[in-house]
Chain A
Amino acid sequence: MIAGNTMMQLLNPLFLTFKLALCTATALLLIGTPIAYAIAHSRGFVKSVSCSIVSMPLVLPPTVLGFYLLLLFGPATQSGKFLIDVVHLRLLFTFWGLVVGSIICSFPFMVNPLIGGFESIPHSLTEAASTLGKTRLQTLVHVLLPNMKGAILTGTILAFSHAIGEFGVVLMIGGKIPQVTRVASIAIYDEVESFHYQTAHFYAGILFVVSFLVLFIVNSANRRIIKPI
């Protein structure tokens, strides 16, 4: 059907894409939850600054982020040299470099819903837990997180979906190395440049359907999960 490609080679960008999205969403859930908790419980100037930093990837062109990450991870800067020579961590043009870039780009898509989730929980629940002798961690695990399942689901799915479609940062720090960093969004661009419209259609169609299904599931699940507190 599509000349010159075996099925595995054809599907590889899709596997890489979903692997990247899964790693990004999982990492963001673990990193984003304590950060969102801290921001939701901060006040005034600190809160304004924190919220602005978190939302920066929404307004910055991905190429700007990609450029700075290229410098940060590359051997031309002290930070890059430190990562490569001391930590022995090579991130440029590797899959894990893509994950780091994708985490930064998808950060607001996870953290902002989580901040909203924490803020939607009545303060008296946290206070009740503290008068019942519970630590902050116990309150977080047993009271706050179970009462913001909708926000957690929304954040996870948005981060996952955004990571599926990430292009600019991925191209800047990962290039398009087959089976390493050539994710579906890059593959589409590549195939269009080479006038392989059928292959581009294949990838684009799958991303289109998956994106719709993901949003449909989020909306349906949220209606079931979110109950007034």
Chain B
Amino acid sequence: MLQASIKKRIGNKNSGIDINLNFNMSQGERLGLMGSSGSGKTSLLRILAGLEKVDSGKIVMNGNPWVDTDAKTFVPPSHRNIGFVFQDYALFPNMTLRQNLAFASRNGSADPKVEELLDVMALALHADKKPCELSGGQKQRAALARALVRSPQLLLMDEPLSALDRHTRTMLWSELNRLYNRYPVSIILVSHDPEEIEALTDRAITIDRGKIISVPKRIIPVLSNRLPIETSRYHNNGLNLTAVTSVDFTHMLN
């Protein structure tokens, strides 16, 4: 479904990183992206969304080239049919929740999916409220509903739960899984939280300084004492533990 092979230099000569990534994704797959701050996770999402351009490479979605630097192809974000859930939710402050969804929809307020999503996301009672009147969890659900209202072929989520407290986050995990069963869509989720990645995705990759690494096996048994992690999902490519400790596992190990 999605094939990406991209290179991009981010930042200046001294403190920047070189993103050099190759990966594929299949239809309906939920892919988790982990990595420390500044590793290039968000940049990768932004590149896939078309919000940033690459220096070289290709991104092909269902056979359609979104980016091909050789052929000078670049499909703008508005033509990619994606959903993007921003870290700060980016709900339009001048619109109510219903208006946010209707604006996003291809059919405006007449789209039955607007009301359906408001119901499914338990936002119907708040549909006429502005974003500033909502709690963090409600904003998160609203941002997700808005991203889904266009039936995107790919949903990109940039640490969508990071601003919420742990209790709300864990509550939302089951809601998100329920939503995925109802609206199966390919998802790329960026998160710092391995538990969240485990709960919400089928497969995870870790990025460090713009390159893909994987979670080494030897940390998995420690985690698996606390979590239902299937260690077979992860591939040990011989990296040492130092590369992984940049991901915040500490709260789980305590």
Contact = CB atoms under 8 A, between A and B. Distances in A.
Interface of A: 122, 124-125, 127-135, 142-143, 146-147, 227-229
A147 B81 CA distance: 25
A131 B82 contact: yes
Interface in B159-198: none
17 contacts: A124-B86, A127-B84, A127-B90, A128-B86, A130-B50, A130-B76, A130-B77, A131-B83, A131-B147, A132-B150, A133-B78, A133-B81, A133-B106, A133-B150, A134-B103, A142-B103, A229-B93
Contacts of B92: 125, 128-129, 142-143, 147
Given A131-B82, A132-B150, A143-B94, 14 more contacts: A122-B90, A124-B90, A125-B90, A127-B84, A127-B86, A128-B92, A130-B51, A132-B78, A132-B104, A133-B81, A134-B78, A134-B103, A147-B92, A229-B93
B90 A135 contact: no
Contact of A227 (B82, B93, B147, B150): B93
A131 B88 contact: no
B88 A122 contact: yes
A18 B86 CA distance: 47
B94 A128 contact: no
A125 B90 CA distance: 5
Given A147-B93, A229-B93, A131 B132 contact: no
Contacts of A146: 94
A52 to B, nearest CB: 27
Contact of A130 (B78, B81, B83): B78
Interface in B42-99: 49-51, 76-84, 86, 88, 90, 92-94
Chain A CB within 10 Å, residue with most, of B51, B94, B147: B94
A121 to B, nearest CB: 9
Given A143-B94, A146-B94, A227-B93, A133 B86 contact: no
Interface residues of B, number: 25
Interface residues of A, dominant DSSP = helix
Nearest to B76: A130
A132 B83 CA distance: 7
Contacts of A127: 49, 51, 77, 84, 86, 90
B133 to A, nearest CB: 11
A131 B49 contact: yes
Contacts of B150: 132-133
Contacts of A228: 132
B139 interface: no
B242 to A, nearest CB: 33
A129 B90 CA distance: 9
B41 interface: no
A127 to B, nearest CB: 5
A79 to B, nearest CB: 40
B78 A128 contact: no
B146 interface: yes
B79 A133 contact: yes
Contacts of B82: 131
A143 B92 CA distance: 7
B105 to A, nearest CB: 9
The 9 A-B residue pairs with the shortest CB-CB distance, nearest first, are A128-B90, A146-B94, A124-B90, A131-B84, A130-B77, A132-B104, A133-B78, A124-B86, A131-B77
Contacts of A147: 92-94
A228 B147 CA distance: 24
A120 B51 CA distance: 19
A129 B103 CA distance: 9
A128 B147 CA distance: 9
A135 B51 CA distance: 14
Contacts of A134: 78, 103
A127 B49 CA distance: 10
